Structure 1
Amino acid sequence: MHFYRIHLFLSARLQNMWTIYLFLTVLLLLLTVLPKIQHSHWVFRVPEFGKIQITYFILITLILGFLIDAPENLWYYQGLLMIMFVHHGVTLIKYTPLYPVKKHTQKHQSSEHIHFISANVYQFNKEYERFIKLIEKYHPEMFLTMESNSDWEMALCTLEKEYPYQHKVTLENTYGMHFYSKIEIQEAKTHYFVADDIPSIEVHLRTNDGFSFVFFGVHPPPPSPTEEETSKERDGDLLSAAKRVKEIHKPVIVVGDFNNVAWSKSSVLFRKVSHLIDPRIGHSFVSTFHAKYRLLRFPIDLMFHSEDIFINQLKTLENFGSDHLPVYCEFFIDHHNDAQEERVETATSEEKAEAEEMIQEGKEEDGDRDVIATED
């Protein structure tokens, strides 16, 4: 009787493991397939954000399959998991040092090194002093804040003496944006590409050693069950920015909370339409959100740059109370170095037409946002 009970117990445990294995395999297949369906609803777009975590879970489930005593058809599921693992891995490996990228060397014609910090401060975060100390610690030549409202603007006044050049878009709807610079601003514009409450900024600067460049800041709305139902405004806003960037005949950096991942279709279209380079390729993910949950962190604060801008350092900094980690970048400008020309991809005529369609859909979408946002 004793051995019979042990047998029943072990059988139940094995059955439970088999059930868990099947559930995980089906769920992971669903999360892999959904982003392949070109629909703008958040249900299809959100799984793109978790590609890194999905890949880890596929590997864990694959290992689990080798540890359980399951029916003969287990190997069909194991094969499916292996295909999914390779599918995700082929994309993700591009954003690691394992992916070969031609290294650049700095030449004497280049600019001095320039540093910036880009941070979604989270409008309802009141730890202003922690962010100010972060700026004082790294003393970048310029920094960009997103979700910054009038309270944040007032708190940052203490930095205006050190950063005498500013461009401010103060909003209370979590889409405010403030830019502060030690480098002279020659011209600054605010764009509202798809909605009159979603700004992007275009700032033309000139360094003391005579190099002109453009800093472009973006922060489109995310597709999610709590915000925008679809990705139409996000994609339309980003691709409108890409078109504008293509018209600028200066070195350009585009920075911000893209509410998007670099491997999504709209991000790839953005890169091709704008003729910019993604510095994460061959480097790292630089995951920023959510700041408090390391294992559930996505790389959604992106940056892209033109071929005459060279990135020396790109990393996240310590948390200052926001739900996003700040991004720190060190770069220089070199008009005479063609080491990055081959990294520029351009859009085909079909991709350009698709981008135009997405821009139009973004303009037609009626985003439901409050003028003054409240914390949930």
Structure 2
Amino acid sequence: MNQVPVLIAPRRTPIGNAGHGFADLTTTDLAAPVLRAVLSSVRGAGIAAEVDDVVLGNCLGPGGDPARLAALRAGMGAHVPGVTVDRQCGSGLDAVMQAAVRVRSGADELILAGGVESASTAPWRFWPPVAGADPVRYTRAPFAPEGFPDPEMGVAADDLARVRGITRQRQDAYAVRSHTLAAAADFSSEIVPIGAVHRDERVRAGMTEARLARLRPSFGGDGTATAGNSCGISDGAAVVAVTTESLAAGLPALRILGTAVTGSDPAFPGLGPVPAIRKLLRRTGFDPDDLGVIEITEAFASVVLAVSDDLGLDESKICPQGGAIAIGHPWGASGAILLVRLASQMLREGGPALGLAACAIGGGQGIAMLVERVS
């Protein structure tokens, strides 16, 4: 029997700059406290259902199923399983999507889902030696096989800005908006402090276009992506509880109306959310104008602006409390962070009724989820 899946108890760590506040913390160290906090909220709300699984997205961890390690560290008991999902920057959102499908099917009642990334402690990896040569270190796996474009994400963001005519000035203005909005927001209700870190480390109050204009291009001499209008390399985790609407009756919750995943041109991975959002809106019967709030991972300002231009989105509805440019982008966790951010805005008094989360993914993919505030 099909069930309606809902999201409750959204929590996240502060987002740390790689090599700083969480420099020595592993994915297990980051995810376990958030899992404990979410489960505590669920139990405090009177939901006694057994946790059927823990599903976490992760890109660059050490392997060995980080979700299972975090579940054990969180004290959830050896009977609670865990599985790790890798869809690169869409991993955290995909983890929640997979949990929602299982709850909708009636197979499971309660799954804790989200994502975690520790860029600070990600292991170094090497290709095996060939014909006696020394092993070669690589910083990321291929996003596309030989014969397909496989640009670095920053280079691809510059290319996207160039072909779409998105100027450096427009990107910088968007970045200032992200920092200004994030600096003015209070995220404390969604954050699980980790040690002495209780706030996002990257946010900068008082950011101006004049300051950003002084920064050099990060990925090439004629590029427009800089350290100021791009996200930071980050550490963090985010988790939500995915359960049935009947079990969550009377609780603040977001109903999952639909999800979509699509492929796109590997040369321009930043455009991945466009077909995913179109597919999702077509499936659910909504238009962009119906959306009250839109959270898109701000990997680069050019990416968000290109997606907005293609879909005709109202930019005032995109990341209205700032996004990854200001807060940071812990790759495998970022999709789940979007859902935590949606919940904080939609579940407050007078919050928007309909929200969308979407991620661009290396190699040319997009993922999107549509949620509705439960009355």
TM-score, length of structure 1 as denominator length: 0.25
**Greater Cα radius of gyration, structure 1 or 2:** 1
TM-score, length of structure 2 as denominator length: 0.25
User: More helix by proportion, 1 or 2?
Assistant: 1
